[in-house]
Structure 1
Amino acid sequence: MAGRDRIVHLLRQLEKAACRCPAHSHTFHQASGHDCGRKTDYAFEMASSNIRYGEGVTREIGMDLQNMGARNVCLMTDNNLSRLSPVEAVLESLVQNGVNYKVYDNVRVEPTDSSFKEAIAFAKKETFDIYVAVGGGSVIDTCKAANLYACHPDADFLDFVNAPIGKAKPITGVLKPLIAVPTTAGTGSETTGVAIFDFEKLKAKTGIASRAIKPTLGIVDPLHTLHMPERVAANSGFDVLCHALESYTALPYNMRSPCPPNPINRPAYQGSNPISDVWSRHALNVVAKYMKRAVNDAEDVKARSSMHLASVFAGIGFGNAGVHLCHGMSYPIAGNVKTYMAKGYNVDHPVVPHGLSVVLTSPAVFAFTASMCPERHLEAAEILGADVSNTKREDAGLLLADTLRQFLYDLKVEDGLSAVGYTKDDIPDLVRGTIPQERVTKLSPREHTEEDLTNLFEASLKLY
């Protein structure tokens, strides 16, 4: 008996002395937080929507909704897509399977806080039990937000928006199922818990980032990408390119701070990690092989199908690792647009498409970040077709920058920020719009100042 008491006493002493990290402690759930003596994180978590891929797989969505017991479905799309074959295919499947639905087709391309709120108001008027998003990232992100706030009717809009613009409150409530049917090959929004919008007051993009809002299922039907105009295919592909490059070169997860006091506080964007690396690297290989073919020939089913999958691959990669400077700097580029009207987009307002706003700074950004992980920058340049056999580590950034410039030139990308309406006088506003994007900019492998951001924007005014 004395021996048993001694063992119990020893176990209690060990419990008091032990690290309270969830990886090491069975008592973690009893506490509201923990402190294992680290300033940086020690773990990463992989999350992704279920993905179904195949030509014509859209016809199954009605059966999915029936299987899920859907009684009243909210289908969201944009006004242009509402008249095209992807939406027609979804509606046909819903009708054939007797699914009751209502359509919201007023999603804005490059959504704003105002357009998000309009969609949220629509969602709150009804009692929807499942959401379906048919479209590109704008549609899927809008649908995520509508689902979130309809399930949290008393929440203020800024409650879940990323800090420092919003309050970044953890999402603890359960959302309704959401099925995403992507029609572009770029954002990867069908895989991620991220919803991006233009915050009109600041003329910069921000968003909501939480695993809670990721779609339940992404139905990836490559036939839907065949309708994309050439420039839409190009700009969507540039988003895939930068998702892959930024997540692969992001600050490693175990160098990101702070270490979260509770798993619910661990961000969706956690830094590069061994699992995300696999997805990001593979996506980059697919982009290198198929993107030019997909842009130049809308009937190249193999190329467009491959880019659709690459979008998913990169989405899983960056959805867990995160992106950094190209995306952080892109938000004010898109948000401060004056008169530029992108070709191939059926919109009635000035717009710098997301993928274009991201890729315009990529040569300058990767020349800047390469010193922190030159091997990864060299590997990326080699995947994109560069000869790295005689390249020194210190020249990795310049090589990748030159490789990207040639890639963009071949795909007829506008000659820098000046070609989409910006001048040197606009740079202070662009820098100010980048500063609040710390959710992503802090994942840059190289620390940066406002002066660094100014120099990067200046270097991006012209590309060639």
Structure 2
Amino acid sequence: MSCCHWKFDTAFTVDASRITFGRGCVREVGDRATALGMGRVALFSDASVARLEFFDTALRSLRDAGLDVVTYTEASVEPTDESFRAAAAFVSETRPDGYVSVGGGSVIDTAKAANLYATYPADFADYVNAPIGAARPVPGPLAPHIACPTTSGTGSEVTGIAIFDLLSLHAKTGIASPELRPSEALVDPDSTDTLPGEVVACSGLDVLSHALESYTARPFTRRAAPAQPGRRPMSQGANPWSDLGSREALGLLGRYLERAVTDAADREAREQTMWAATLAGIAFGNAGVHIPHAMAYAVAGQVRDFHPSGYPGDGPIVPHGMSVILNAPAAFRLTAPADPARHLAAAGHLGADVAGAADADAGPVLADHLVRIMRAVGMPDGLAGVGYAESDATALAAGAWPQQRLLGNAPIDVDEALLANTFRHALRYW
């Protein structure tokens, strides 16, 4: 074929988990697991969540349904390749025929990885995203998995992505496949009632970035068509389906995020923030994220001594949502000229005053509104606030550069020099 029209895709694919949303729905997990044919269930969580009544409710529901339950409560708050391997070893020994995860994105991702490596054993790097790993396709279906998120943030309950720290590189990467997407999601806002405000802020800002990055991603019509229909990537670019979820999530966050962070008793705000998380999860699970998330993996992977309040343990950590939002104002100033109207629309959905704004205003308007939200919910003042300096920009760019799955989804072309400069602009905002 000599014509160029065949080079770009003309269709997009919509994938999503079955979702049940509402207060108290975690009590349905036993019936849901039985309906999926589970008999021996691996119940995944972490040490903190496993002490909560919410976890006990899920465990009771599974046992009341007559299911044999083995519990794994050692999922890491920030998973690593080592913690994924440990979880896979556990299920290889206990041999469950289904999974239930009760926790944040880290717990859900750990259950995804354990399910994958126990079902289709391989060298660990085989399934890891390129260029770090071989990005080998998952050979077939996995065992059923019901995800019960306890934070209003990652959207992992509806995505086929599992993120972890690769210890040898001091950087985050992941595994991405539609087969990893949980069979069902039980999204129960009761789980967020006891979350500290800083955790709600970090997870909610991750949601905000999911929605913004999906909405401003390279359009699916500017992505190369797959060699085979089944090989269309999950990060397929902005499309009409992802736009719906992104716009609604941004509107909800503009109205409710600050309330959810500052008033733990505001059940409406926490419920609506959690609904926004699910909507944004569906959006980015079908469109993909781009520069802020790619930068975030280096920020989290190279942290030296920062540890926020509200998070367990005492080791260095930049929570995922924080590591993303600290880059976002600088990144969106950069991408706005690619589609000023879409960036202004996103700012408007978040609540910014965009009346009379010209195309040249899109980047500043969106970036300034993001900074206002960051300050309102107590985020640090840019990357300097978590311990980075201008001298770190080159190393951070090198750490972000392997995230080609994300960077290739940006609405602009990206190289390491551009990344380093964006890290420099993200050091301080006020």
Return the TM-score normalized by structure 1: 0.91
Q: Residue 229 in 1 paired to residue 196 in 2?
A: yes
Which residue pairs with 2:55 in the alignment? 87
CA distance in 1 between counterparts of 2:6 and 2:34 reads: 48
Letter in 1 for 2:151: T
User: Mapping of 1:194-273 within 5 angstroms?
Assistant: 194-257=161-224, 259-273=225-239
Contact 2:297/2:399 (<8 A) preserved: yes
Contact 1:151 1:173 survives alignment (8 Å)? no
Match for residue 128 of structure 1 among 81, 96, 121: 96
Q: Deviations over 1:30-87 (max 9, x none)?
A: xxxxx99622222211101000011111111112223333221101100111101221
Q: Matched residue of 1:198: which SS? A: strand
Is 1:342 matched up with 2:277? Answer: no
Which of 320, 327, 337 lines up with 1:361 in the alignment? 327
AA matched with 1:104: Y
> Contact (CA 8 Å) 1:42, 1:254: kept in 2 or not?
yes
The alignment status of 1:277 with 2:255, answered yes or no, reads: no
Greater alpha carbon shift after TM alignment, 370-379 vs 59-68: 59-68
- Measured against aligned partners, the alpha-carbon deviations of 1:72-117 in whole angstroms (never above 9, x if no partner) come to 1101100111101221110111222221111111111111111111
Note the 1:157-168 alignment, pairs <5 A: 157-168=124-135
Q: Can you give the 5+ residue segments of structure 2 that lack an aligned partner in the other structure?
A: none
Q: Does 1:410 align with 2:376?
A: yes
Q: Which amino acid aligns with 1:207?
A: G
The farther-off stretch of 62-71 and 165-174 is 62-71
TM superposition score normalised by structure 2: 0.98
Rg larger in structure: 1
How far apart, CA to CA, are the structure 2 residues paired with 1:162 and 1:390? 43
Structure 2 CA distance for aligned equivalents of residues 374 and 176 of structure 1: 44
- Corresponding residue of 2:39: 71
What is the RMSD computed on CA atoms of the aligned residues? 1.5
Give, in whole Å, the separation in 2 of the partners of 1:381 and 1:442: 23
User: Per-residue displacement from partner, 1:234-293 (whole Å, max 9, x unpaired)?
Assistant: 000000000000000000001013x21112321111000011101111100000010001
The answer on whether the counterparts of 2:254 and 2:350 sit within 8 Å (CA) in structure 1 is yes
Give 1:357 shift: 0.1
Which residue pairs with 1:50 in the alignment? Answer: 18
Task: Select which of 266, 271, 277 maps to 1:305.
Answer: 271
Aligned to 1:30: none
In the alignment, what sits opposite 2:258? 292
Task: Work out which of the residue numbers 387, 393, 396 in structure 1 matches 2:362.
Answer: 396
Q: Do the aligned residues in 2 keep the contact of 1:49 with 1:218 (CA within 8 Å)?
A: yes
Partner Cα separation in structure 1 for residue 127 and residue 411 of structure 2 = 27
Indicate if the aligned counterparts of 1:204 and 1:336 stay in contact, CA closer than 8 A. Answer: yes
Is contact 1:123-1:146 (8 Å) kept?
yes
In the TM superposition, residue 420 of structure 1 has moved relative to its aligned partner by: 0.5
Shift of 1:348: 3.6
Structure 1 alignment gaps of length 5 or more: 1-16, 20-34
Alignment pair present for 1:372 and 2:335: no
Q: Which runs of 4+ in 1 moved over 4 A?
A: none
Equivalent in the alignment of 1:428: 394
Aligned partners of 2:58 and 2:414: how far apart in 1? 46
Mapping 1:134-213, distance limit 5 Å: 134-153=102-121, 155-213=122-180
Count of residue pairs the alignment pairs up: 430
> Is the CA contact 2:70–2:94 (under 8 Å) kept in the aligned structure 1?
no
Kindly state the Cα deviation for residue 447 of structure 1 after the two structures are TM-superposed.
Answer: 1.2
The 5-angstrom pairing of residues 24-63 of structure 1 reads: 38-63=6-31
Which residue identity does 1:307 align to in structure 2?
T
